[in-house]
Amino acid sequence: MQLTVGQLAKRCGLATSAIRFYESRGLIQSLRTSGNQRRYPRAVIRRIGVIRAAQSVGLTLTEIADALSKLSNERTPTKRDWERLSISWRERLDQQIIDLERLRDQLSSCIGCGCLSLKSCALFNAGDGAASRGPGARYLLGDRPES
């Protein structure tokens, strides 16, 4: 059974414009009827699920498109296909987990952003010394306060 753009959008919880956007970016493909209407195989539901899950953890559309381009459009991806795709994201996701843990653990202390609003900032980032290392919250980005 093939789905119309409206049926697919409803099943995936998206606007039809999002479905068309994903298609314009090459993330999904449709077939066309003789009246030039889009029809999607049910397997596209899983691709959209993967796209949305990947977006929710911060992967870019370019990263997602690159990974999905390795899957066949001629057949429904197998469990092995999805495993290969997930392996390609493992390093990126592991780094993101490390970054999120650092954010969680350091957010209540000086993060080297230059605001100097916490008492600890006067110790860890006196006079906004972290600014010499570059823009942004330097300690959240991995720099360490000087001893």
Check pLDDT > 70 for residue 58. yes
The amino acid present at 76, given as its one-letter code, is T
Q: What is the pLDDT of residue 147?
A: 57
Kindly state whether residue 101 falls inside one of the protein's structural domains.
Answer: no
Q: Based on the domain organization, do 51 and 118 belong to the same domain?
A: no
| Contact in structure between 145 and 124 (CB atoms under 8 Å) | yes
pTM here is: 0.69
| Contact in structure between 117 and 142 (CB atoms under 8 Å) | no
Kindly state whether residue 142 falls inside one of the protein's structural domains.
Answer: yes
Mean pLDDT of the chain: 89
| Contact in structure between 16 and 6 (CB atoms under 8 Å) | yes
Q: What is the pLDDT of residue 13?
A: 95
Average pLDDT over residues 15-35: 95
Q: Based on the domain organization, do 90 and 112 belong to the same domain?
A: no
Q: What is the pLDDT of residue 65?
A: 92
Q: What is the pLDDT of residue 3?
A: 95
79-119 per-position pLDDT tens digit: 888 888 888 888 888 988 998 898 888 888 888 889 888 88
CATH number at 26 reads: 1.10.1660.10
Q: What is the pLDDT of residue 29?
A: 92
| Domain limits for position 16 | 2-95
Check pLDDT > 90 for residue 5. yes
Check pLDDT > 80 for residue 72. no
Check pLDDT > 70 for residue 6. yes
Average pLDDT over residues 35-53: 92
Distance CA 130, CA 146 (A): 9
